[in-house]
Amino acid sequence: MKVAKRLSGKIWFFPAVLFLIVLVLGALQISGSSIGIYHEILYGENVKDENLLFNKPRAVRSDEWLVTTQLSLAQTQTGFAPVNENVGNGIDVSLLVDAPTTDLGQLFKPQNFGFFVAPPEVAFSLKWWLLAYLLVISVYFFVLALLPKRKMLAVLLSLAFLASPFIAWWYQYITVAPIYYALFGIVVVMKMLQASTIKKSVLWALLLAYIATSFALVLYPPFQIPTALFAVAFLAGHIIDSRSLIRKNIKPTLIGAGVAIIVAGIFTAVCLVPKLPIIETIANTAYPGNRITESGGFNPLLFMSSDTSPLAQSNSRAGAFTWLPNQSEGSNFLLVFLFLIPLLTFFVIKYRKVIPNFWTIIALVSLTAVFVAWLFIPGIDLLGKVTFLNRVPHERLLIGFGLINLLAIILFVKVYEQQKFKLVRYIPALYAGLILIIYVILNLYLAKTFPGFMGERWALVLAVPYSLIIYLVLKHKFNLAAALFLTFSIASVIFIHPVYVGMGILRDSELSNAIRQVDDGSSKRWVSDSLQLENFTAFNGMPSLSGVYVYPDTNIWKNDFPSSDVDKFNRYAHVHFRFDRNPNEQIEPALVQPSPDQLIPTIEPCDEFLQKNNVGYILTTETFTDEQAACAELVKYVPLPRANIYIYKLSY
């Protein structure tokens, strides 16, 4: 008993227990992937999916189940080659997809290490949970760096951060990695500032170089920019607050900083310089391309309504809340910082000369003002150019508010736990009551405006948590407040992800078996006319013109489609075909653009374009008659409860 108590008091106890849980979940092949959506597509909702343990897959998370998951697992068919030759003329998946490859940059993506030593389903599950693990322990150590004696608070806040609606709806590498690398980087810099010897400083610097390189290789600026601005603002404030310590350790600090910058620069250059032509191609695409965001225009009521996140888990309710672009784009963090920063500002003004972390608080308030101004004030585009926020769509900037939210909680606890910083006795109840009134009014307005989203009862119930959390904080019940915050966070995300076992729906389905049987080692390419099935052939190791082109493959399209279509194929795109089935007309090849990230070549099933590109098979959900496609022979019919699949072999 004493040993257990002693172990539980160690700083590494929580990370160790959490890591064991990750290993168990990985071994059981359990993940939160929505890949089970294929069971609904192929078999329907009335046929039980034995691999679905809890909840339902989410179609809205298509970036996960349609793109990242499939392209990651498709790498097992290529020997983890950086360029997957089965998509178009070959797509380098080492940059934007977070797929496992033998590329040097993979050393900086530890979440993919399992693919090289474990079966694919186990490796995928480990990857799923490692992203969560790294996020949780980064928050945990960040909290302890500022509040070293509050391990329980660090545990509760780190789990609550993982359970943020924004994290759950956006859950993928490009979202969570910028956060955990920024927080790890901050903690390491803080350790460097404390290092009393050059040896310690250099060791910390080498770790920082690895973290900085890993951050750089995420290559998704809309999330990297806000997290980097947060890290810079925090460290600027912290360094000023720690100036006496830095003066004492000036030599180790400067040497460590120099080592970190040089090594990170070398690592990043070695990984990215060979990829510069691809990076340039991506930067010059029509989509996503060189997108510029203007300041202002974000809906302040949508920003304030994160307390309604539990209801947004319902597809029907979310659909009635027309302010939400979709559930992912409309998700947010549970923003209690809105009510803590005014109090921190009060403490800074009243106790300026003795308040701890004065400049860190100033940095926090300043960064908050910058982010808020960018969201809501039009015409300040110079600010966007200076801070690079003009490269961040407003919905993506919310990731920065999540970090501000976390820091505001930590700094408020750090200040308020000291007895000399007090509020008048009646303030906690009065302030919490004011928050309750604000959210009752806001929620009742939403209930009236969007009755399908929320009724009056929910409007009143959901107004309570924020006010109660703040009340407990102001009564010095920090752990209890954090526990309530965690509980409300879990209630806001518990129905988002399914609990799913394995990848059998992809690897062992009747459709995958049919594709492998028909192809039988052929070098002929495949095409499909289904968006949902666009990756199935490449996933099974067959060359395909259908699929996700994470950057343009212009050589495929430029010679056979009108020059006016350049912008249509110069983009990140889901490519699936549309075949003319009218035997009385012959159409000219054309490209259709139903949405910014889709490309649909509309073509005759026996068009010369297919012959020139060595297409030998069509995967379709509709039959062809001899009059519609004289060159096509039906070689496989896969009857499924929800969808009939036909495989045709082309002979020119």
Please provide the DSSP assignment of 499-558 as one string: EEE-SHHHHSSHHHHHHHHHHTT---EEEES-STTTTHHHHTT--BSSEEESS--HHHHT
d(CA 544, CA 198): 55
CB-based contacts of 574, cutoff 8 Å, min separation 6: 66, 531, 534, 547, 548, 549, 597, 598, 599
> What percentage of the chain reaches a pLDDT higher than 70?
98
The pLDDT value given to residue 2 = 59
pLDDT of the residue at 419: 72
The pLDDT-based confidence of 645 (bands split at 50, 70, 90) is very high
Task: Please give the Cα distance from 78 to 82 (Å, whole number).
Answer: 9
Confidence check: pLDDT of 201 > 80: yes
Residue 492 CA to residue 486 CA, distance in Å, equals 10
Average pLDDT over the chain reads 93
Is the pLDDT assigned to residue 568 strictly greater than 90?
Answer: no
pLDDT at 564 over 80: no
pLDDT at position 154 is 98
pTM: 0.94
**450, 492, 394, 444: which is closest to 161 by C-alpha?**
492
pLDDT surpasses 80 at 227 = yes
Q: How confident is the model at residue 649 (pLDDT cuts 50, 70, 90)?
A: very high
Cα–Cα distance for residue pair 605/609, rounded to 1 Å: 10
- The contacts of residue 352 (CB under 8 Å, 6+ apart) are 358
Residue 506, pLDDT > 90, answer: no
Reply yes or no on whether the pLDDT at 4 is more than 60: no
Classified as helix, coil or strand, 348 is helix
For the cut 80, the answer to whether the pLDDT of residue 132 exceeds it is yes
Banded pLDDT at 509 (limits 50, 70, 90): confident
Q: What is the pLDDT of residues 114-130, one digit of tens each?
A: 999 999 999 999 999 99
Q: CA-CA distance, 553 to 540, in Å (whole number)? A: 21
At residue 64, the pLDDT reads 95
Q: Residue 581, SS3? A: coil
The C-alpha angle with vertex 538 and arms to 287 and 97, in degrees rounded to 5, equals: 45
Q: For residues 13-39, give the mean pLDDT.
A: 96
User: Which tokens is 509 given?
Assistant: 């389905």
pLDDT at residue 354 in the model: 85
Q: Would you say residue 135 has pLDDT above 90?
A: yes
Question: Each residue of 604-634: pLDDT tens digit?
Answer: 999 999 999 999 999 999 999 999 999 999 9
How far is CA 140 from each of CA 346, 349, 586, rounded to the nearest angstrom?
A: 27, 30, 63
Report helix angle 250-272 to 198-216, nearest 10.
30
Question: Cβ distance 57 to 500 under 8 Å?
Answer: yes
Residues 6+ apart with CB under 8 A from 427: 474
- Give the rounded percent of residues in the chain with a pLDDT score beyond 90: 78
At residue 616, the 3 state secondary structure works out as: strand
Tally the C-alpha atoms within 13 A of residue 508's C-alpha that lie toward its C-beta: 6
Whether 493 shows a pLDDT value over 80: the answer reads: yes
Q: How far is CA 79 from CA 102, 126, 375, in A?
A: 8, 19, 45
pLDDT at 263: 94
Round to whole Å and give the CA distance between 580 and 565: 19
Tokens standing for residue 257: 């900083």
DSSP strands (E only) in 302-420: none
Q: What is the pLDDT of residues 160-183, one digit of tens each?
A: 999 999 999 999 999 999 999 999
The yes-or-no verdict on residue 423 having pLDDT over 90 is: no
Q: What is the mean pLDDT of residues 125-139?
A: 98
> What CA–CA distance (Å, rounded) separates 278 from 95?
9
- pLDDT over 80 at 8, yes or no: no
* Residue 99 C-alpha from the chain's centroid: 14
Mean pLDDT of 362-390: 96
Cis peptide bond N-terminal to 378, omega within 30: no
